[in-house]
Amino acid sequence: MLRWVRQQLGFDPPHQSDTRTIYIANRFPQHGHYVPQKFADNRIISSKYTVWNFVPKNLFEQFRRVANFYFLIIFLVQLMIDTPTSPITSGLPLFFVITVTAIKQGYEDWLRHKADNEVNGAPVYVVRSGGLVKTRSKNIRVGDIVRVAKDETFPVDLVLLSSDRVDGSCHVTTASLDGETNLKTHVAVPETAVLQSVANLDKLVAVIECQQPEADLYRFVGRITISQQTEEIVRPLGPETLLLRGARLKNTKEIFGVAVYTGMETKMALNYKSKSQKRSAVEKSMNSFLIIYLIILLFEAILSTILKYAWQAEEKWDEPWYNEKTEHERNSSKILRFISDFLAFLVLYNFIIPISLYVTVEMQKFLGSFFIGWDLDLYHKETNQRAQVNTSDLNEELGQVEYVFTDKTGTLTENEMQFRECSINGIKYQEVNGKLTPEGCSEDSPDGNRHSLMKEEELFLKAVCLCHTVQINADQTDGADGPWHANGIASPLEYYASSPDEKALVEAASRVGVVFTGTSGDSMEVKSLGKPERYKLLHVLEFDPNRRRMSVIVESPSGEKLLFTKGAESSILPRSKSGEIDKTRIHVDEFALKGLRTLCVAYRRFTPEEYQEIGKRLHEARTALQQREERLADVFNFIERDLELLGATGVEDKLQEKVQETIEALRLAGIKVWVLTGDKHETAVSVSLSCGHFHRTMNILELVQHKSDSTCAEQLRQLAKRIKEDHVIQHGLVVDGTSLSLALREHEKLFMEVCKNCSAVLCCRMAPLQKAKVVRLLKTSPEKPITLAIGDGANDVSMIQEAHVGIGIMGKEGRQAVRNSDYAIARFKFLSKLLFVHGHFYYIRIATLVQYFFYKNVCFITPQFLYQFFCLFSQQTLYDSVYLTLYNICFTSLPVLIYSLFEQHVHPHVLQSKPVLYRDISKNAHLGFKPFLYWTILGFFHAFVFFYGSYLLMGEDTSLLGNGQMFGNWTFGTLVFTVMVITVTMKMALETHFWTWINHFVTWGSIVFYFIFSLFYGGIIWPFLHTQDMYFVFVQLLSSGSAWFAIILIVVACLFIDVVKKVLYRHLQPTSTEKAQLTEAGSGINCLDSMCCFSDGETACTSVRRMLERLMGRCSPTRVNRCGISLTSLCCRRFSYKLEPDEPAAIDV
């Protein structure tokens, strides 16, 4: 029981040993001293809490916050010693904050649990007791035999036992794991491949020994021992037999496999970064400000304590006749009395630390996050998907992003290849209405009869149809007419390809008349304009990254031996001796300039003697036990020479809509974009060029194919030197995974220096954890930039979790990225609205919210401190305890909360169309030390005006009350409190640019509520209160005309200087944001009114009149022209506003 509890709390992971032994179908040995190993269950967990650890873990996280921990200490102090205020004044707000935050975080984690349960509860079939049993994914155990059908996702890491094919092979796509959409072939060992029925598998007696789980997707070492009658057969197991969780079965009806790694031990889960609590830069700033205010609090408490004892040095003040000390007080320790007084002052001033700040921020983040989901601009109609918010704690971080790390396949692209152009025998062709049309020629009758292909065209298309690894859907078979209907139009065949390029080329060839119809044994079948032809497949020369080409040797129907080769132009053209080589090279360069992925196609005819020699060499190389790879490479080079060039192809990886515009907008906003992909070097560079990540004029630097530290370091030094020499030119850097590993090992600083001086960086052939390492490298650099990672597959989960902000794309590669992200969107283009509009608004709102809270608490407590100078530091409170408790919770909380939800200081359209405005809020500009200092000084200034204004106007007058009574301390404190509530509420109104009826209701309603509450609180004798100090105080205060005069005068005096400062700064030193509040005339977007803005020829009172007209409903917030005010006389002066793409801002005043 104890062990189970420890595992639930996360303290006791399952036992680990060097290797694991797995008994297939869990047939454990019946004799000997077998000790079963403990394996993880098959649950995937992306949540932070469980039922058991929610309370302790959540409380621990909450009390890590400075304000929460501080108020807990204050609450305990109030319980232990006699303090001026009740423990309820600290305990109640603390309990409220902790409870609301826990509910919010618990709800978000419940959503994660819900998503996990959908995955863990998915139906699967396992072989048990001689039959197929339907169960849930989470119930799969290590050793279970699992059946997976076509197009299903593997629920665990499986060792393939058999498939519906005789040879035990199956085809798998791992797009959601490594971003590669090509089909991969996996093969079972021969002894289990023949066990294709449940009954035969149930009789299998075998044991698998393999390594413990590791994150490397491409490494698996193990062996299987099969017991057959009296002998045991041992076969090696490698990556070709391992089917990974998250991959999808393709072109195979069903497979059976044995579970070897389950749950959080699968390779997909191990490539997730451990879930950690992400904290925004704003929260870190809040904690810094809280520490500063804590220092101010300690200073005030220590100073008050010292002054109290300095004052009491005189005997008449130490023990006045009306307050004689008890015998116990006279004999008590002076040190203890000093500490007790210090703690009492600490409690008296403790409200300078705004505890309600955290709960308001939590509510603002939680409620504000709904606007992202409700935004119709982030809704994708085709897939019926809207934006999702998985973590609302990072909303404002969307406005601080400096680096974007993006996946390529499925994120920037649609993951669909399209044939665009080709070059055959030196002539460029395009596909027009299912026909190959030479460039410059037009089709007179596009829908007319099919034309016959020229000899060169037909040979080129046959080479495309034969030199590939394309598979056809097993469900599709040729009917009586084959793949051609009576009208001559091809019926669609569903192809699965080893690369998306091959699939696009084979589909294009089928559209123009040469159709690959499948394989039968060792034969490949092709139909050329309806005429079937059968080619015998003799040899396949597989693709490898060093040769950068693949070839097939076939026997034509006439018995001729032919070699067809396709690959990169750099590997084909130098080996070609005939054909239109120069023209084709020019065409390939033209295709590349258009951002197309290019391949060259060539062939060679063999004489019988040549083929006999080739066959002999291939057999010797393939059966060699030593240096097999090197010998095969030599034979391939011998075969692939003296080629006759047929032509070249140009295929486009279709980009998502508006990707290029989005990347350019990010660049204008000052955000650097890095592309991290698992794809090949050439593919990645081609897509970077086509999507605008790399410009054609950019100098592309490469750090690829390095095998040693020394060569990598030398290349890095050369790149750094080139960048310094050509500092005027923009540079782009291409890095591959192996070179990156070497660069990060010992040359991290040099690598970072090169990267930061490049406008764009492309990392290719990246493993999932390498992506996370690159993000961490930037995140932890001295500048500490805010990073954002965006991807759509399980291979992107690590970098999504590592970055400050992680965004999942709802693509075609499963939901792992979406489930583990902070935000999820349907398309990459939505990123601009998410950052430039939502991120901008969230940051401005919360920056003002945080600083306003500190400001209003300085206003609140400073008069309390000043009052001690008038009461001999006797710790007498200026305000009633009810006012102390309700100031932050009721009287001043709603206006700032509504402001933080609805404020739009600039129109959303302007923010999205002018990305340069994003630069104004970068690097935490609105929460730096200068803005914080301004708000703090303003708070102290207003507090001094509240206190001394009230004292000078009312403090010395003893006959202002209607009944002739003198002003008492509660009346004076209530006057200060009344002025304070009105002033801080009006200050919030000054900061508001976008007024809605809700803003009006809570702003003016808060003031009205304060007056109504005070009248009821002081006008009735409440039986449950121990003291009734405030009885009739507020009514008497309001009965005095001079009190009303003092309130109005002090409020105006406080706000007048702030209004003057705003007006002067807006006219003399307007910021880009203030300039953006005016847009081009006729755009239909008007200046957003503010009380501190007026046009030429107007007085300041006119702007107040406009504000009142708004309040009375005479003027629409969105169409100021309805009031008869033209755009030429609006707000602050008329600006001709224009932002050019090449410059931050151009303003004509």
By annotation, the residues acting in catalysis are 407
Q: For residue 938, what are the CA distances in angstroms to 183, 693, 894, 979, 1052?
A: 66, 46, 21, 15, 14
Which residue in 771, 728, 769, 777 sits closest to 749, CA to CA? 777
- Beta-carbon contacts of 273 under 8 Å, excluding residues fewer than 6 positions away, are 772, 797, 798, 801, 802
Q: Count other Cβ atoms within 10 Å, centred on residue 685.
A: 23
Rounded distance between C-alpha atoms, residue 879 and residue 697, angstroms: 69
Rounded distance between C-alpha atoms, residue 38 and residue 16, angstroms: 8
Rounded distance between C-alpha atoms, residue 220 and residue 157, angstroms: 11
CA atoms within 13 A on the CB side of 336: 8
Type of residue numbered 312: Q
Do 1065 and 1009 meet the contact criterion of CB atoms below 8 Å apart? no
Token pair belonging to 953: 């106007």
Q: Count other Cβ atoms within 10 Å, centred on residue 113.
A: 17
* Residue with token string 């709960």: 359
CA atoms within 13 A on the CB side of 468: 34
Q: Where are the alpha helices (DSSP H) in 960-1022?
A: 969-991, 997-1019
Do 932 and 850 meet the contact criterion of CB atoms below 8 Å apart? no
* Residue with token string 């990347």: 663
CA 356 to chain centroid: 29
Type of residue numbered 990: L
Characterise 776 by phi-psi region: left (phi > 0), alpha (psi -120 to 50), beta (else).
alpha
Pair type for strands 787-791 and 805-809: parallel
Q: Which helix (H) or strand (E) holds 935?
A: helix 929-950
Do 564 and 644 meet the contact criterion of CB atoms below 8 Å apart? no
Angle at 290 between CA 284 and CA 296, to 5 degrees: 150
Type of residue numbered 650: G
Residue 1020's SS3 state is coil
Rounded distance between C-alpha atoms, residue 402 and residue 1068, angstroms: 30
Do 765 and 736 meet the contact criterion of CB atoms below 8 Å apart? yes
Q: For the residues of 415-448, what is the DSSP string, one character each?
A: EEEEEEEEEETTEEEEEETTEEEETT---S-TTS
* Residue with token string 């309806």: 530
Type of residue numbered 785: P
